[in-house]
Amino acid sequence: MLQILVPSQLSGAHRSVSKETRKLCIKETSGRCPVQLSTCLFDTEFPSFFRNTPMGATESTRYDDLKHNVDHSRMIQFGITAATLGNIGGTWEFNLRFDLSTDLFVSQSIQFLQDNGIDFDRLRRDGIHFDMFAQLLSRVVARHRNLCWVTFHGLYDLSHTLKTVTNRPLPPSVAAFASQLGIVIGDVVDIKYMARFCHGLRGGELGLAAIAKILNVERVGGAHQAGSDSLLTARVYTKMRMAYEIDETLFAGCLYGISARICKPIAVPNTNGRRCFIPTATTPAPFLRCITTHTSVFMIAAPFSHVLMSQKRNSFRLYLLSLSFLLSASRPPLMHRITRNPYKSPNCQKE
């Protein structure tokens, strides 16, 4: 189930879009057809906390609880907003298949998500197959190595994304987690950590909605929906950068909740003009073969007005290909093919 609107592809019956959604499209995307979107602001929704970490716990204990919670659950929504220099290029929300009769969950978490509008009957019936989503998301992540991934209090969001892309449990320690996250995801920014250094935001000890209220940023859609939260994150991030004249590079790699900094590995050219990562003994191999084609479809998403169902692999692939195209520069970046063996050097493929 993909919550998205593609105006050029909808039938006449599906073109009846609300005025609110039309205003959203015009306000966020009219006149802006970005050549390169350098920032991805994202959010996830997941169904459970199996362990609650007590206050005052050590970082090692907090990470052990995080690893246990993430390893025994999976995301049910992935929302992403693509932007550059404050211009929002589109918002997508992917709803993944989840079956209450077979998947692990905590009943309080499920009730909370249901109260906020998530339909688990529909997720079971129409949700995107998780393995399909993981495979295609891994290709998008592998293809765009120069993106900055921005989140709010994103330790769990990044952990679920890392687990989805690598298709393996989280690393055993905080240091290994930070190292793998830097290799797989690359540049990350946590707005909650950044808010610590912004006057009037109470040292960052506020939620996303509270910070948005202080900054007079309006939400579109419902709270605790991944698409709406990612769009609100994008608007808050833009407002914070303008209001406080923030240089986000000062906060790159710093996550609220852990002390280890996420460092992206250095990429160097070789004699054949290709680019490859400097391999280490712990370099993971999470990616399948990268996308080798572009799509000419440019998608302007209005994700809160209409649900367009897609059970067919080709249709769903088109959506992620369109997102990949949207993030591409005029000269597409080099793609990487990484082997499954984590102890082999990654093989880089020219486009």
> Would you kindly state where each structural domain of the chain is located, as residue ranges?
2-265+272-329+338-349
**Among 91-105, 253-267, 301-315, which stretch is predicted with the lowest mean pLDDT?**
301-315
- For residue 320, what are its two tokens? 């992620």
pLDDT at residue 250 in the model: 86
Share of the chain above pLDDT 90, in %: 40
pLDDT class of 323 with cuts at 50, 70, 90: low
Confidence category of residue 52, pLDDT binned at 50, 70, 90: confident
pLDDT class for 231, splitting at 50, 70, 90?
Answer: very high
Task: Reply yes or no on whether the pLDDT at 34 is more than 70.
Answer: no
Q: What is the largest CA-CA distance in the chain?
A: 57
The DSSP bridge partners found for residue 337 are: 347
Over the stretch 139-177, which tens digit does the pLDDT of each residue have? Answer: 888 888 888 999 999 999 999 999 999 999 999 999 999
189, pLDDT greater than 90: yes
Higher-confidence residue of 334 and 214: namely 214
Tokens 């799509």, residue located:
295
pTM of the predicted model, to two decimals?
Answer: 0.70
Cα separation, 119 vs 126, whole angstroms: 10
The superfamily in CATH containing domain 2-265+272-329+338-349 is: Ribonuclease H-like superfamily/Ribonuclease H (3.30.420.10)
Spatial neighbors of 54 by CB under 8 A, at least 6 apart, are: none
CA 162, 281, 179, 182 torsion-angle sign: negative
Q: How confident is the model at residue 17 (pLDDT cuts 50, 70, 90)?
A: very low
Q: What is the pLDDT of residue 342?
A: 31
| Model pLDDT, residue 212 | 95
Of residues 134 and 299, more confidence is placed in 134
Q: According to the model, what pLDDT value does residue 14 have?
A: 31
Instruction: pLDDT band for 190, please (50, 70, 90 cuts).
Output: very high
